[in-house]
Chain A
Amino acid sequence: MALATTAAVLNLGNLLSTSVIDVTQVSSTPQHRLGTLSIQVDNFGYHRMFRYVRWMAAQSAGGLGQRCALVTGTADTTPNTTTALTDAGNFTAGDEVGKICQINVASGAAPEGESALIERNGTGTLVFDSGYPLSAAVEVADTYSNWGIAHYIAGAVYSDAAPAGNAINVSGIVMGAAAAKDYGWAQIHGFHPAVNLDAGTAAITTGSAGALGAASTVILLATGGSQQDLYIGWFPMATSDTAVQAGFVIDTFTQSQPVV
């Protein structure tokens, strides 16, 4: 069992303090470890927490992304080992790096339910971090999911048909304009002075809750029951239905999903 042999941590490190220039910059190669946190405060006077992520689609500053869809499949040939999985043609080279691969079903035996960190990938093979191998080799016909723990695409309105825009999948607020597949920072907690709004939707009211809107914007969280899982923060001040930005207190540090 990976659990017992590797103690459930991998290259543990401390949090990072970054400058404002760092926070707004993007790059095509990672400058920090994905998921790195920076907890700071600025003159707006509210703590601000930032997380280092990968933007799998282009983003504008002030927008919000949502987690990319799971990549799922079935191991289809060898080589499959404790640190590699093969599924011909199911991947885009490099896109799975930093994601977590879980073996979902393996005939009721190890490595069923185990996770590994994807270190690199071609179009047909995932290679895992050797410091956290599976306890048994992947077998042909094992099913798996790759979860983008810090990988985000454009945000969209939640619906029953497209339920990914849940609070657990919101990136936080984009700090620097990014091209597709860039690395950069997202604000996940605290006051942000200029979040992008969906102009033409309902006017913002003081103290109201926000949800992910169309095209990476924020919109009012509609009143009504059973939508706590959409809450991503709140508007401290009112503005009109034509405004394209507003002050917002983002609240996705915990990526919590209260039960509806």
Chain B
Amino acid sequence: MALTTTAAMLHLGNLLSVGGTDLTATSTSPAHKLGSLSIQMDAFGYHRIFRYVRLMLAGTPGLVFDRVALVTGTTDSTGTTTSAIDATIFTAGDEVGKIFQVNVASGAAPEGETALIVSNTTTTLRFDPGYPLSVAAASGITFSDWGVAHYDAGALASNNINCAGILMGTPVAKDYGWCQVQGFHPAVQVDPNSAAITTNAAGQMGATSFVVLLGSAPSQQQDYIGWFPMATSTTAVQAAFVIDVFGQAQPIS
């Protein structure tokens, strides 16, 4: 099994210290490993945790993105322990960095196993050879590609576990850049057409990557992404916000 032979890690590294310029920069090729963290503070006086991600859609600073949808399918040709083939569903390069899981394989290996996608064409996924499947990916197995650090536009009431955090730069589609996942941010973008922000109110993801008030009805804890320390009007386009998605936790409703 891949798990026991490779210890469930792949090229482990330490956290990253980055500068202010780095945090707002975006690039078409990765400057760091996806998922790199940087824990810092600035003069505003609240710790700030940033995560390096891939932004699959263009955006502006202060928006809050949402995880891309799973890409799911069924292999239609025989692959290997480090490749899988499905001629129908991929966009070249878009699966890079995602995690591939074999969902169903007739009850035998590699069912349930995962691999890291290092390249892809329109038909073929290539996995990191340092973490191969234990058995070749046969034709007819079902799979999912999960964007561990891949985000696009936020939508109303998206679940906390899929929230990217707050965009720090101005990416074009498919750029790499940083998102703030914990701590105070002075200028998150809010929906000027939604309810006025009240002091200490909880926030959730809103339409078109804005942040909006989390409604007061019960059973929506999983939508909580942070809180507003101060009130503002219904017309404001930005507000101070304490983002709280480092854990990407999903409390039970």
Contacts and interface: CB of A to CB of B under 8 A. Distances in A.
Interface of A: 1-4, 7-15, 33-37, 51, 70, 98, 100, 102-105, 108, 112-115, 117, 129, 131-132, 145, 147, 149-150, 163, 166, 168-169, 226, 228, 254-260
A259 B244 CA distance: 13
B202 interface: yes
Interface of B: 17, 19-20, 23-24, 39-48, 60-62, 166, 168, 182, 184-187, 189-190, 199-200, 202, 214, 218, 220-221, 223-224, 227, 229-233, 235-240, 242, 244, 246-247, 251
Contacts of A114: 186-187, 238
B186 A8 contact: yes
B232 A259 contact: no
Contacts of A36: 41
A35 B47 contact: yes
Q: Is the interface of A mostly helix, strand, loop or mixed?
A: loop
B168 A7 contact: yes
A257 B237 contact: no
A25 B60 CA distance: 43
A147 B232 CA distance: 13
A35 B46 contact: yes
Contacts of A132: 43, 186
A2 B190 CA distance: 14
A105 B238 CA distance: 12
Contacts of B44: 10, 35, 100, 117, 149
Nearest to B168: A8
Closest 7 CB pairs of A and B: A113-B236, A35-B45, A108-B235, A34-B45, A3-B187, A115-B186, A145-B230
Given A33-B41, A70-B230, A104-B232, A168 B186 contact: no
B240 A4 contact: no
A149 B19 contact: no
Contacts of A37: 39, 41, 47
Nearest to A110: B237
Contacts of B221: 228, 258-259
19 contacts: A1-B187, A2-B186, A4-B61, A7-B61, A9-B23, A11-B43, A12-B40, A15-B40, A37-B39, A102-B232, A105-B232, A112-B232, A113-B236, A149-B45, A149-B46, A150-B45, A257-B227, A259-B202, A259-B223
Given A4-B61, A113-B190, A132-B186, A104 B231 contact: yes
B235 A12 contact: no
